[in-house]
Homo-oligomer: A and B are copies of this chain.
Amino acid sequence: MISYTEAHKIVIETVKDFGETQVHIMDSIGRVLSEDILADRDFPPFNRSTKDGIAVNAEHVKINNPLRIEGVCAAGDPQKKLQDPAHCLEIMTGAVLPLNCDAVIMYEEVDIENGKARISSSPKPEQNIHRKGSDQQKDELILEKGEQISSQNIGILASVGKESLRVKKLPKVAIISTGNELVPIDQVPEIHQIRTSNSYTLQALLKQLNIESELMHIPDEKKILEKRIREALQDFDVLVLSGGVSKGKYDYLPEIFEKLSVQKKFHRVAQQPGKPFWFGIHQEYKTHIFAFPGNPVSTYVNFHIYFNDWMDACLGQSSKKYEIRMNDEVENPTDLTKFLLVSANHEKAVLTGDLVNGNGSGDLVSLSKASGVIKVDKQSAFKVGSVFSYIPFR
């Protein structure tokens, strides 16, 4: 049985590039750019007024000497020209600064009467002007290949006309449940049965990472398992399984994976929850297999501590690291790395946490009360106020 640290390292080292795909700008948030985005023109593309007011030639303007208004420059108008530098043009926010002008005085500082503008203070050259190319020059790199797209980036992408863009492709994932006690969500279980739940949780978690997945259930029968997993290994990039990897008589998966030429990277990790985790890669197809234990909390926690980080690594992103200050004493007298459910709070810029006490790894209700887990090393004990690595669930 290997340690959590070794297991995590092995998983992260098996990164894979799933190629590229084209997506619409509206589907691009959270995706990772696989092209550089360049400014297709200067930004702003012209000397742009940042205020509503009058455009003037600063040198020719005198306080209390009314300026004749030659006309109006609206946003969207082609550039105009101030004919007489001692006159002015009204100008709107977003309009092109007229030729012969070098400053804009906002309406709040101007009195307009009978087609003339009287100003109360001398303008400084360049005031209220957003200079052509001052944010970005044509062909300058504005978003780099490898960057993860945020909602702030959308305006930039739109500005340079990227209605669709190339991003890193995400893996095609099959979520496989095993276990003869499971019935589909829309059925009423017999007394000895329960409804499938892990598969839906996994599908929801993958959806939050923008990953589409297909659900399948396979009964605990060797021949059927072998046939269907053989097919899935060819059809998908990743298989995520829950159940079938513990020490039970019908936990056939490890044996079947071996038969199907899946290279086992490890089975069983010195951690709790999630100890029976089985991880491997198909030798030919390079399909990744994350076979999590069947307990709901084990599956949920293992997805966060392994799959999320692996996906980040595949996309060239470093996983965000968080730490939390615990309001409880924390101890772990066992030989396993423990991941304890905690409920996090923000107090005066500090992330603090309280332990969530539950009913073991089958307990979905405790899981719902938690906002993440802390990692507690084996054989350790900590006082109130100690700081831990924190893996948030969202």
Contacts and interface: CB of A to CB of B under 8 A. Distances in A.
Interface string A376-394: 0000000000010010011
A280 interface: no
Copies in the complex: 2
Contacts of A359: 130, 134-135
Query: Chain A interface: which size bin?
Result: 35 or more
A189 B40 CA distance: 11
B346 A322 contact: yes
Interface stretch (A13-21, A59-67, A89-97, A283-291): A89-97
B158 A186 contact: no
A196 interface: yes
A201 B135 contact: no
Contacts of A122: none
Interface stretch (A146-154, A227-235, A259-267, A332-340): A146-154
Contact of A204 (B130, B151, B200, B365): B151
A198 B157 CA distance: 11
A12 interface: no
A48 interface: yes
Contact of A367 (B107, B152, B185): B152
A205 interface: yes
A192 to B, nearest CB: 5
A355 interface: no
Contact of A197 (B159, B205, B364): B159
Contacts of A142: 365
Nearest to A184: B163
A326 B78 CA distance: 44
A29 B208 contact: yes
Contacts of A351: 346, 349-351
Nearest to A75: B181
Interface stretch (A166-174, A242-250, A311-319): A242-250
B158 A79 contact: no
A246 B93 contact: yes
A46 B192 contact: yes
A355 to B, nearest CB: 16
Interface in A173-215: 179-182, 185-201, 203-205, 207-208
Interchain residue pairs A-B with the least CB separation, the first 3: A76-B180, A76-B181, A158-B197
20 contacts: A44-B362, A75-B179, A75-B180, A75-B220, A78-B192, A79-B191, A94-B181, A130-B360, A134-B359, A135-B363, A150-B368, A155-B296, A158-B195, A158-B197, A158-B199, A161-B187, A162-B185, A323-B347, A325-B349, A349-B351
